[in-house]
Copies of this chain bind each other. A is one copy, B any other.
């Protein structure tokens, strides 16, 4: 049996980085960005906790776990459980409002699969806020690079947040558990061999998206705990001849796994979501808003909108023609553009109230997608928005944004992030505004915490 010496593989280098990362290694700007992502994540977790699919996963977790535990199940009930089951419930909650963050180049939503397992374990182990932030940066850096490594062919079939998410969770939890580089590599093997998540659910608006984040958080956490206990995993789960790339990608790129490790901070490249919809709709929505602003168009002026998009947008959004649920409508390009045009913003409340309103559906059906070479070539590194609007007056107008709102070059301020989190908290009607305000206020100070206590519940 011949194996490449483990220390020289990208897998081994990535594992060493994840295991040995220190708070002091992380530039201050990246720490600040991680705090931004942290507060932004919390709003999504609170907003999502009582959505029907999430409530199902939480009921399962609470039924199968202990009655009480060291880890918070985020929600007004103040439930607790073991780290494993709390992580699953909170990961399910984090992804349902379609407001959690996204990394463009990997088309990966890190927050939903990094913060829930990290918080659950940090609470159980009494870790500090700095420990938590460091572990989460490890999770972001690993998950994003695995997503980039798996490539566009992977994303055509697999939900990268589910698949690469197992590695992100394992890295964050493994860091909190103090795994050394060799143990972290075993954790990667155990996480990667549980990597799963197929896009097929989109076709009938099924609930799998929340299951994918729950699964990734739980499987990655389990992989890290097992590694601490001496359980071994494949030495190269990424590039080995029967590993992830062999099974689930045709354009994987091993160099991406270690691209700029320790100098390039992928965490800081992560975008915030402004509209409460699938990220593939955002560039076009912002481009439509841009052209409407520039030419002072009103909704009745719009006769048709052609969105010029990348192939993945067509793959993910194409099947959604007549959305039958509010969640599915977040994957309908027409619905998102209609809500943005009508309200200036496609937020949670706009979706809930109006996704099947007559005016929304009328405008929705005027929107089409075409593949655009410039946009597709720039993707996934850059998400360019381009639309062509024909007006009822017979004009043809072009809208364009080079960075949709929330991208690093067009980011949200801390005030906007606080407002977004409070808006998400208010969307979940069971959490009093003052409780949410206190929690968000406290969360901004995470780096000063001597130990991670409950987030929503006052200690």
Contacts and interface: CB of A to CB of B under 8 A. Distances in A.
Contacts of A199: 242
Interface residues of A, number: 69
A85 interface: yes
Nearest to A219: B215
B193 A198 contact: yes
B64 A1 contact: no
A215 B234 CA distance: 16
A225 B60 contact: yes
A194 B196 contact: yes
Nearest to A195: B196
Nearest to A243: B200
A84 interface: yes
B193 A234 contact: no
Given A64-B83, A319-B1, A204 B235 contact: yes
Contact of A189 (B201, B243, B320): B201
Contact of A207 (B59, B231, B235, B236): B231
Interface centre among A200, A202, A242, A322 (most CB of B within 10 A): A200
A355 B204 CA distance: 52
Contacts of A230: 52, 56
Contacts of A240: 200, 203
A193 B207 contact: no
Contacts of A205: 232
A192 B212 CA distance: 11
B222 A60 contact: yes
Contacts of A244: 198, 200
A53 interface: yes
Contact of A193 (B189, B192, B201): B201
List the number of copies, as a whole number: 2
B241 A322 contact: no
Nearest to A236: B200
Contact of A229 (B1, B3, B56): B56
B206 A186 contact: yes
Contacts of A189: 200-201, 206, 208
Contact of A57 (B53, B60, B196, B226): B226
A134 interface: no
Interface in A54-88: 56-57, 59-60, 63-67, 82-85
A211 interface: yes
Contacts of A156: 242
Contacts of A190: 207-208, 211
Interface in A111-133: none
Interface string A31-65: 00000000000000000000011001101100111
20 contacts: A56-B226, A56-B229, A56-B230, A57-B231, A60-B222, A157-B242, A186-B206, A193-B211, A194-B197, A198-B237, A198-B243, A200-B234, A200-B236, A200-B237, A201-B234, A203-B235, A203-B240, A203-B242, A207-B231, A211-B231
Given A53-B232, A196-B196, 5 more contacts: A56-B230, A60-B229, A189-B208, A190-B207, A192-B200
